[in-house]
Structures are given as structure tokens and as C-alpha cells.
Amino acid sequence: MAQLEEVLRPQVWEFPPYPAKSIMLASGETMVIRQAKREEVPVMLKAAAALTHVERDFYDIVAARAYAELLGWLRYRVRDEYCLVGLIDGMLVGLVNGRSLSKKVGVSYHTIAMRRGLRIGAHLFASKMEYHVEYLGQQEVYIVAESPIGFRRWMIEYGLEKRPQVHHELGGVMSWSLTRDLYFAAKDRLVVGERPVSDELLEKSATITVLEDDALIQQVAGKLK
Amino acid sequence: MLRDVYIAGCGMTGFGRAAGDLLDILEEAALAATEDAGLFSEIESVFVANMGAGILNHMSGLGSALVDRLCLYPTPAELVENGPASGGSAAKIGAYAVGSGAVDVALVVGGEKMRAVTGWEATDFVATLSHPQAEYIYGVTLPALAGMFARLYMEKYGITPEHLARVALKNHENGTKNPYAHIQQAVSLDGILNRPEAVVNNPWVAEPLRMFDCCPVSDGGAALVLCSKEVAEKTGKPLVKISGIGQATDTHAVHEREDPIELKAVQLAAKKAFEEAGIKPSDVDVAELHDAFTILEIAESEQVGFFERGTGHIALEKGETSLGGKLPINPSGGLKARGHPVGATGVAQLVEIAWQLRGDAGERQVKNARTGFTCNFGGFGNNVLCFVLEREN
């Protein structure tokens, strides 16, 4: 069994870690963005599962796909995947994931904001791009959008380049690319955060907690008025 | 007017993103107001305020549609469209209908379903109120007009980005106390202005205006039941009288004004409303101003006469316009936080003031409020309605 499992598991590239940073949000709260550990996946799966039936703003497809990707990472079925989490006092307020296709090319998977109206998704996506370009040293990142919000945030705000010849892992929709040049052109207006993160904040962010399902759904979809 | 007009009932939907369609919004607001008044079959005329159903929702004839939805036919009904001042206009026409003696009870309902389209399309839709040849074709939007206005106003009176941000802080804080508000999230000065993160948290929209200087795009509805004194007395509610109404217009294109930062229609509409009510601006206890952009709250607070020209931002800085201050402005959260479904806004302002004067405003209640004021700003100040409301008993 162990031998077969060895065959089923992907090879691993030990990529450099993403150094945690803190960001003050519009509300004055501080969000810590740090890399998630594989053993933290179950708690993130709980949050993703809660959102898989929220049709609003395409949360359902994003959450369902992110669930599968995170599960793939947990069960060693995806190569070189990572996940960054946004935490306010340990509470999960968003996550982003992706993987490395090669040492030169990254693939962006998903961005889920679990609190709305504070640009948490924008900060997390920027951190994901920061990771690929500045810490993994990749030349470009392949990206697709599944919602109009994503399209505005990524394709338009970063001025991404079309890559029609690229078959992104998320399907046959148009692929786009963030090149190093595009990243550094956008960095001043889109990528923020403070490092190092204080020990106190890191301690508060050491354990991920998530809202109960109903509260999380309401936080994302609102009380429909 | 030949006789006094009273607000017997108020109703609102939660502003934000509505699950239903525009008629559902109008119906919900109307039923809330008629239930509040305890008057329904007594309604003799219906006035519906809406700016964009034809463009946004592919609907017209909303007056007829609403009376049918409410099973109020054959009650007369019409649609009133006057840009973002549609609500104020419908309330004025409803008040005149009662005040003239033509009817004893009128229902005024304002509503808009703006989130049926993208933010870009909503911005374009609102821009259709600008001058078609002199403004719209050049890509001028309302945020663009407000940005240019803000630049001039700030330069002339020494207003800083922090003053603008403080309007947002105050109104967002008020919005957290209003269960009907679109945005119920407080913001901090550091988070939206001072810290480096503000470049992402609060990006430029039309310099010097940032995202938190602009109202959101909202769905929502608000409604009023207006009636004669005889009818109002029978409802058992505190008597809230519409004691002054003023309306004025200005040039369609902003650049044709002698001084683009003089909001003459605001000045004239306010003056007329105060004169009709027989009071001074200093008699007002609470006001709802049209803060579609933060700069407009400051400018209107001066130009309706609450503060000397160039001192509105100082009053704001001193907390005079906060809840608990000398003259709380926008206790509802204003357009900035309560939201701005354009056709509903003028009615929602009157609902808020009526609630304040009745003592029904909950956590955001202004103590001992007896006299209130609203300013509903249409176009970019080219069609403005002001109201004075007073509590009688």
C-alpha cells in the first residue's frame, strides 16, 4: 500500500515559504496573511463547504473548486500547491490558493473573501501574485476568472495579458497572464503589507478558526433584502 | 398650500442588494408605510418615484404596475421622474395633492433596482442625467463632476482629504446603527487614509475623491403616507407636519454656472422651504443631506444655511454634525452608508426625519428632535428639493 501511495503522490518541489505580513483594513482591523499548513486544510474545507451553495457572485463554483483543490493538497494529489490565508485575530476571513506549474510558471487557482466590502479578496490576490513573482521568482502566472468581480479585480486592475494558447487547469475559458513586468507596474497601487509581523499578531494567527456555517453564509451573501 | 399636510406612515426596505424585482421593492415599502399609518383603503392617489426602470429594468408605467400589485385600482397613480431628486419630487407632488384638498390621503413610494446591472452600467445610467452634448459625450460621469467640484471647493476653503474622510467615518458609524442601511461597517481614518494600505483599501475614483468618498450603488425602496390633519389625528401617531417645501433648478451643464461651486438651486430651495415653514436654519435639530459624495455633505451644510461658507468642515471636525452634536447630519448613514437607490433617496430622507421626530429612530435617535430638514439633490445640483418637517404634539 505504501509503495502504491508513493506512486500516486506527486513529486514535490520544496519551494520557499511565503513570509507572513499584516495589513490594516479600511475598518481599522489588522489582517494577517500567512501561508497555511497542510494540517490546517480540514478547517478550511469546512469553510469552503459552507459556501458551495451560495449562488451569489459565483461563490458556489469558486468554493466547490477550491474545496476540491484543497482536498487534493491534503491527500497529496496535487503537485506544488499552496494556500495563503487571511486572518483577523485568528478568524479566517479569506483564502487564496495556487500552484507552481514549473519553476518559471505559476498557476493561480482561487480567491475567496469571507468578509465583504473590505477589499480582503484584493489583498489576498495581490499576496498570491507577490508570492509567485517575488518569492518563487516565477516569470508569469496563469490566471482565469470565474466571476465578474474576479474579472474586474484581476484582468482589468492588473492589465493582464491574454494567453489564448494556454490551457489553464480550471477549464477551457480564456487564460490570462500576470508577467513580472505587469506585477511590478501594479505593485505600488495594489500590493501592500507590513513585515515582519509582530509575535503577538503571529500568535493570534497561529490557529485558524472559522464561523459557523450559517453565520459565514450570511457574512458572505448578506441578509437578502 | 391650502391646508397642512402630515406624514401618517413611513416604510422602508433594507437598502443594498434586493432579492426581488423592482415591483417587489415598491410593494414592500408601500405596505410597510400603509401598515404603519393604519391607512390603506383610504389611499386616494399614488405617486411613484423612480429614475431608471426603463434603462435598468426594462419597465415603465410603474404607477399603474404598483396599484395593480397592491390591488389598489382604480386609485389614480403616476410615475414621477426627476433624476436623483425623483423621491423629493414625488413627495412634493403628493403633499400638494393633499395640501390642495384634492385628496385626503396620498401614498408616495420611491424605489430603484440598480444592482440589476454592473457598476459600470449603473454609473453610465446615472450619467445620462448630465448634459448630453456638453458633458455626457465627453465621458463626464457624476463622480467626475463631483471630483472637479471637490477640487475647487477644497482649494477655496482649505478642506483636506481628512475632512472628506471624516464625513465617511461619521456616516458609516451612523449606518451601523441603522438596520436598513446598505453598509453597516464602520471605517477608520488610518484604514482609509493615513496608512499605506489605504491605496488599496480606498482607491482613487475621481481625484481627489476616493472610493469611500462615494455612495454605493443600491437597491431599495421607501414610502410615505401623507394626509390631512383630520386623518393624521385619527392614526394616534405623533403629528409630523410638512411645514416647508422648496424647489429650485439650475443650468443643466455645470460649466455654464457663474461659479461652479455655488449651488444656487440648493440655496434657493432651502431658503424657500425655511420661509414657508417660518423658521431659520438654526432652528433645525436634525438633517438629512444628499451626500452622494462626501464633499456634498460639507457644501450643502453651508449652502442651506446651517454654517457660514467655508466652515462646514470645521463644524464636522468639532463633531457638531455627529450624533450627539449640535446639529446631527445624516443620522441614517446618509447616501454614503444607508445607500442611494436614486429614485428612493428623497423619500428615504423624509422617512428618516419623520422617524427622528416621532422618536422611532432607535440607536441613532437624536434627542428631543422637533424640527428636521432634508435636501434631495438632483442632477449635479440642477434640480433640488428641500423639506422642513416639524413635530406638532
Sequence ranges of the domains in chain B: 5-118+217-235
Question: What is the structure's pLDDT at A225?
Answer: 46
Q: Which CATH architecture has domain A20-221?
A: 3-Layer(aba) Sandwich (3.40)
Touching check for A28 and chain B: CB below 8 Å?
Answer: yes
pLDDT at B296: 98
Q: What integer pLDDT is reported at residue A12 of this predicted model?
A: 83
For A205, residues 6+ apart whose C-beta sits below 8 A from its C-beta are: A20, A32, A34, A87, A89, A90, A197
pLDDT in tens, B322-346: 999 999 999 999 999 999 999 999 9
What residues of chain A score a pLDDT lower than 50? 224-225
Res B243 pLDDT > 70: yes
Assigned CATH class of B5-118+217-235:
alpha beta
The alpha-carbon gap from B14 to the nearest alpha carbon of chain A, in Å, equals 5
Which of A29, A122, A222 minimises the CB distance to B200? A122
Q: Please report the pLDDT score of residue A171 as a whole number.
A: 81
DSSP 8-state symbol, B340: B
What average pLDDT does range B44-57 have in this prediction? 98
Query: C-alpha B3: how far from its chain's center?
Result: 25
CB contact under 8 A, B188 and A28: yes
DSSP line for chain A: -HHHHHHHSPP---PPPPPPEEEE-TTS-EEEEEEPPGGGHHHHHHHHHHTTT--GGGHHHHHHHHHHHHHHHHTT-STTEEEEEEEETTEEEEEEEEEESSSSEEEEEEEEESS-SS-HHHHHHHHHHHIIIIIS--SEEEE--SSHHHIIIIIITTTPEE-TT---TT-SSPPEEEEHHHHHHHHHHH---BSSPPHHHHHHTSS-B---HHHHHHHHH----
Cα-based angle B388, B353, B90 (whole degrees, multiple of 5): 65
Given a contact cutoff of 8 angstroms between Cβ atoms, the answer to whether B20 and B31 are in contact is no
Which among B18, B188, B191 has CB closest to A225?
B18
For the ranges A3-12, B86-95, B200-209, B323-332, which has the lowest average pLDDT?
A3-12
- Segment B356-368 shows an average pLDDT of 97
Whether residue A113 lies within 8 A of chain B, CB to CB, comes out as no
Query: Nearest C-alpha of chain B: how many angstroms from A22?
Result: 10
Say if residue B208 is preceded by a cis peptide, omega within 30 of 0.
yes
- For A26, nearest residue in chain B (alpha carbons): B191
Chain B nearest C-alpha distance from A115 (Å) = 11
User: Across all residues in chain B, what is the average pLDDT?
Assistant: 97
Specify whether the CB–CB gap between A136 and A80 falls below 8 A: no
Q: What is the pTM of this model?
A: 0.95
Angle among Cα B115, B247, B2 to the nearest 5 degrees reads: 115
CB atoms within 10 A of CB B279: 17
Determine contact: A119 vs chain B, CB below 8 A. yes
**Model ipTM value:** 0.92
Among the partner residues A29, A118, A192, nearest to B199 by beta-carbon distance: A192
Q: In this predicted model, which residue has the larger pLDDT, B276 or B19?
A: B276
Which pLDDT value is given to residue A223? 65
* Whether the Cβ atoms of residue A31 and residue A122 lie closer than 8 Å to each other: no
Contact B197 A148 (CB under 8 A): no
Determine, for residues B16 and A225 on separate chains, whether the beta-carbon distance falls below 8 Å.
yes
